[in-house]
């Protein structure tokens, strides 16, 4: 099915059809209606890639993520989608499933005429392509960028400050042995959260004990196993701070499987404030990242770069906020 077939069906020139499908002006209402009816009847679909090659724009933004298994990424995508829809851009999504070769291959595919710009959420292996993106002046924005790229445009959050505030909350409740489950330490955001935890302990005169720090990966099964390890210590922690909410859900499951109560026996804190954090029982104390706002801000930043390639690269950190709920309380034997 081609534009010529649509023109024949509608009884108009193919130039008129072109103006209609490209939202052009100077088309009479009756002709526009005939073209739209013909498109519907024939099932014609605009070839966006071919059109992009002709006009130099595809009006499509590429998005590369590692997976779709967490509310963290889902909330960011929600923000991206809202902003792009308002700007009349389409979104093309690729998931790498944490495979290094796939990440680089998808980026290269998107930059070869499929998309006008690229959004990357917590990329794992950007060294394979960031220099090429910069060299070819291809518009991109990193989301959750800490420690990934110190040159390009990026949107992040105050991870260190958020983790510091969460740890201080537990200390102020009276906890002195606070376990910590890290994220993927290749990522700067995970290292920043660990640093915030360590800083809060040090400033309160508490030792940073290596046995209380367990490496995680931002996923629930590892959060569960790390908590099992912490609870098996000769002197287990009275509180556990997980580097994201999904890991915290695993920690909550492990605490219950050890026949302990939350928060009476063990307080739990997460990070992100994904929607499920307010739905678990007890509702989770966590550090809120403005995830939807991060997605919207990243999309706006990218569209600005597309319109003005000479604009200076911006690096924005949005504030985090401690949200205190029912999963934390003073340890048994201490009031306030």
Taking residues 261-281, report their average pLDDT: 97
Residues 6 or more apart in contact with residue 79 via CB below 8 angstroms: 291, 292, 293, 294, 295, 296, 297, 298, 299
CATH code for the domain in which residue 135 is found: 3.40.50.2300
- The total of structural domains in the chain comes to 3
Q: What pLDDT shows up at residue 231?
A: 98
Instruction: Return d(Cα 323, Cα 151) in angstroms, integer.
Output: 32
Q: Tell me the pairing of strands 285-288 and 267-272.
A: parallel
Residue with the two structure tokens 């992009």: 52
In a domain, 332, yes or no: no
In a domain, 52, yes or no: no
pTM over cut 0.75: yes
In a domain, 54, yes or no: no
Residue 336 has pLDDT above 50, yes or no: no
Answer yes or no: are the C-beta atoms of 32 and 20 closer than 8 Å.
yes
Residue 189 C-beta-side C-alpha neighbours within 13 Å: 26
Domain co-membership, 30 together with 66 = no
Domain co-membership, 165 together with 281 = yes
In a domain, 231, yes or no: yes
Q: Which of 57-66, 161-170, 261-270, 294-303 has the lowest mean pLDDT?
A: 57-66
Is the model more confident about 111 or about 331? 331
Instruction: Return d(Cα 147, Cα 154) in angstroms, integer.
Output: 11
Domain co-membership, 237 together with 275 = yes
Query: Average pLDDT of the chain?
Result: 90
Residue 141 has pLDDT above 70, yes or no: yes
Q: Indicate left, alpha or beta for 157 from its phi (over 0: left) and psi (-120 to 50: alpha).
A: beta
Taking residues 84-89, report their average pLDDT: 91
Domain co-membership, 165 together with 279 = yes
From the CA atom positions of the chain, what is the Rg in Å? Answer: 25
**Is the omega angle on the peptide bond into residue 201 within 30 degrees of 0, that is, cis?**
no
Domain co-membership, 152 together with 168 = no
Domain co-membership, 298 together with 153 = yes
Torsion of CA 250, 255, 261, 262, to 10 degrees: -40
Domain co-membership, 278 together with 180 = yes
Tokens of 69: 């298994």
CATH code for the domain in which residue 16 is found: 1.10.260.40
Query: What are the tens digits of pLDDT across the range 233-257?
Result: 999 999 999 999 999 999 999 999 9
DSSP-based three-state secondary structure for 13: coil
Long-range contacts of 203-212 (CB under 8 A, 24+ apart): 204/168, 204/171, 206/171, 206/176, 206/178, 209/177, 212/177, 212/178, 212/179, 212/180, 212/237
Taking residues 202-219, report their average pLDDT: 96
Q: Determine how many CB atoms are found less than 10 A away from the CB of residue 227.
A: 30
Domain co-membership, 131 together with 228 = no
Query: What are the tens digits of pLDDT across the range 177-207?
Result: 999 999 999 888 999 999 999 999 999 999 9
In a domain, 325, yes or no: no
Secondary structure letter of residue 258 according to DSSP: T
In a domain, 334, yes or no: no
Domain, as residue range, for 32? 3-46
- Label residue 98 by pLDDT band (50, 70, 90): confident
Q: What pLDDT shows up at residue 166?
A: 98
Residue 7 has pLDDT above 90, yes or no: no
Tokens of 107: 């980026």
Domain co-membership, 167 together with 128 = no
Q: What pLDDT shows up at residue 56?
A: 56
In a domain, 331, yes or no: no
Query: What are the tens digits of pLDDT across the range 39-76?
Result: 878 777 665 555 554 455 778 999 999 888 778 999 99
Domain co-membership, 166 together with 279 = yes
Domain co-membership, 164 together with 279 = yes
Domain co-membership, 169 together with 267 = yes
Taking residues 77-97, report their average pLDDT: 92
Q: What pLDDT shows up at residue 40?
A: 78
Angle between helices 71-86 and 245-257 in degrees, nearest 10: 150
Residue 212 has pLDDT above 70, yes or no: yes
Taking residues 277-303, report their average pLDDT: 97
In a domain, 326, yes or no: no
Torsion of CA 125, 127, 133, 134, to 10 degrees: 140
DSSP-based three-state secondary structure for 280: coil
DSSP-based three-state secondary structure for 172: helix
């Amino acid at each position: 099915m081609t534009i010529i077939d649509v023109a024949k069906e509608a009884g108009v020139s193919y130039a008129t059809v072109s103006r209609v499908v490209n939202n052009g002006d100077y088309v009479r209402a009756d002709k526009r209606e005939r073209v739209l009816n013909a498109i519907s009847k024939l099932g014609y679909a605009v070839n966006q890639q071919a059109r992009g090659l002709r006009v130099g724009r595809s009006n499509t933004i590429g998005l590369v993520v590692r997976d779709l298994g967490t509310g963290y990424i889902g909330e960011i995508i929600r923000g991206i989608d809202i902003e792009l829809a308002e700007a009349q851009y389409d979104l093309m999504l690729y998931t790498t499933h944490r495979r290094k070769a796939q990440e680089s291959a998808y980026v290269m595919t998107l930059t070869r005429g499929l998309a006008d710009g690229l959004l990357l959420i917590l990329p794992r292996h950007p060294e394979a392509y960031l220099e090429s993106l910069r060299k070819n002046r291809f518009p991109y924005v990193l989301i959750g960028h800490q420690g990934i790229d110190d040159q390009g445009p990026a949107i992040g959050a105050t991870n260190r400050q958020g983790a510091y505030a969460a740890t201080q909350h537990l200390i102020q409740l009276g906890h002195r042995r606070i376990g910590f489950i890290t994220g993927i330490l290749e990522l700067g955001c995970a290292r920043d959260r660990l640093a915030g935890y360590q800083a809060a302990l040090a400033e309160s005169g508490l030792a940073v004990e290596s046995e209380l720090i367990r490496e995680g990966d931002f996923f629930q099964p590892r959060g569960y196993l790390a908590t099992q390890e912490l609870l098996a210590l000769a002197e287990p922690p009275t509180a556990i701070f997980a580097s994201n909410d999904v890991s915290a859900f695993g920690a909550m499951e492990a605490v219950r499987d050890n026949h302990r109560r939350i928060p009476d026996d063990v307080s739990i804190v997460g990070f992100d404030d994904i929607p499920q954090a307010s739905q678990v029982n007890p509702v989770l104390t966590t550090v809120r990242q403005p995830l939807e706002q991060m997605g919207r801000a990243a999309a706006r930043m990218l569209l600005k770069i597309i319109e003005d390639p000479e604009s200076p690269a911006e690096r924005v950190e949005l504030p985090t906020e401690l949200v205190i709920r029912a999963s934390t309380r003073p340890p048994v034997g201490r009031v306030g």
